[in-house]
Homo-oligomer: A and B are copies of this chain.
Amino acid sequence: MQNFDYKNPTEIIFGNGRIKEIGERIEGKAKKVLLTYGKGSIKTNGVYDIVINSLKEHNIDYVEYSGIKPNPTLAHAQYGAEIAREEKVDGILAVGGGSVVDESKAIAIGACYKESLWDFYDGIAKPEKSIPLYVIMTVPATGSEMNPNGVITNELTKIKKGFRTPLNYPVFSILDPEVTLSVPIEYTNLAAVDIMAHSIEAYFSKIDNDSYVLDRFVEGIGKTVLESIERLNKNPKDIGARENIMWASTLAWNGLVHCGVGEWINVNHVIEMPLSSVYDMTHAAGLAIIIPASMKYFKEKYKNRLEKYGKNVFGLTGDNIAEKTIQAFENWYKSLNVPTTFHDAGIENPDIKMLADITMKPLGDTKFLTKNDVIKILELAK
């Protein structure tokens, strides 16, 4: 194992029917919140009414800021920051999936900064203050509810960037699995691809085979995702499966399973980002295209990792397990109707040079990934 520091201050409030605690939980912490959400699914599934009633009951004032997109944009976040400032809110309440939470994180730091909040994503400024963030997570996938990360797309340059600051850990997050019963199974399948991708990023980018306690946690998350998705595709109302995948989603990307890995970068996520911003595909589809290709490209380097995962998660035996593991991922994606190549996604001539340029611009060549690697991986993904 490699050295690590780990601290995660977010409180998790998990369980069916717990959204109605929101007012009680915010009371004493904030008097007026910016209530952020997406395109209104929370109005059809009943969440909006529960939240509003609870806020009113506890005399918490609120201003609404909705319309957050699946790939949230800088302009919308910047405008949200302006409203938060003008309205003098002392809390931000994000109600939605990962995109809503990610943009709310941008608003939380942007509201305390007088220049463009893109400065943080560009690395030319560091946030010193933020407005406290409270979360109701309605679509488990990104893990944003218990981490300090957020991704925003600059709609002018098409550049999608991630940023992390300890200021962006939510104070608390309510995870209410019952709410996820209304998420259509197609979205749940896409979310599962994302959760799985989070959990394996570090697992498949280390050569050190000797942090086995963490490997077992990653494998446990992998098996949980497979099992839950199988159950949910049979019965989308299976609350046990909804509960397990929701908590697995948080655990996959809250820093825990990355403890002890040492230096690494999230190769698949990094290469995927230009795909979903340039071609406006879902993040999960982009991941399902990149992951098998990057596994093929790094097959020799991470052979022992592929074998370990294949045996312990997919239950593979016999020869050529590394290869079979890659196939198992591809088959799983296909079973969820998620494309695994550019071709399958309807992109016949991906602009590989441009995608590689966008990928490497913020990163530069690293020991984990060079521009040449990215080009070869994208070629394998055609």
Contact = CB atoms under 8 A, between A and B. Distances in A.
Interface in A265-303: none
A208 to B, nearest CB: 9
Interface string A1-27: 111111111111111101000000000
Interface stretch (A66-74, A240-248, A326-334): A240-248
A376 interface: no
B14 A5 contact: yes
A7 to B, nearest CB: 4
Contacts of A211: 243-244
A236 interface: no
Contacts of A219: 216, 220
B5 A8 contact: no
A217 interface: yes
A119 interface: no
A243 B208 CA distance: 13
Contact of A210 (B7, B11, B220, B240): B240
B213 A1 contact: no
A223 interface: yes
Nearest to A171: B7
Contacts of A256: 256
A142 interface: no
A223 B227 contact: no
Contact of A223 (B11, B214, B216): B216
A260 B248 CA distance: 12
A187 interface: no
A221 interface: yes
A248 B216 CA distance: 11
Contacts of A177: 1
A14 B7 contact: no
Q: What range describes how many residues of A lie at the interface?
A: 35 or more
A264 to B, nearest CB: 16
Contacts of A181: none
A55 interface: no
B8 A15 contact: no
A188 interface: no
Given A219-B220, A243-B260, A9 B7 contact: yes
A352 B58 CA distance: 53
Interface in A181-221: 210-214, 216-217, 219-221
A259 interface: yes
A251 interface: yes
A183 to B, nearest CB: 17
A224 interface: yes
Contact of A213 (B8, B13, B212, B224): B224
Contacts of A260: 14, 243, 247
Contact of A244 (B2, B212, B220): B212
Contact of A11 (B7, B11, B227): B7
Nearest to A208: B240
Contact of A212 (B14, B210, B216, B224): B224
The 6 closest A-B pairs by CB, nearest first: A3-B15, A216-B220, A7-B11, A210-B240, A1-B243, A213-B224
Given A3-B18, A220-B220, 5 more contacts: A3-B14, A7-B11, A8-B8, A212-B244, A213-B247
9 contacts: A1-B244, A2-B15, A3-B18, A4-B14, A210-B244, A213-B244, A216-B220, A216-B223, A217-B220
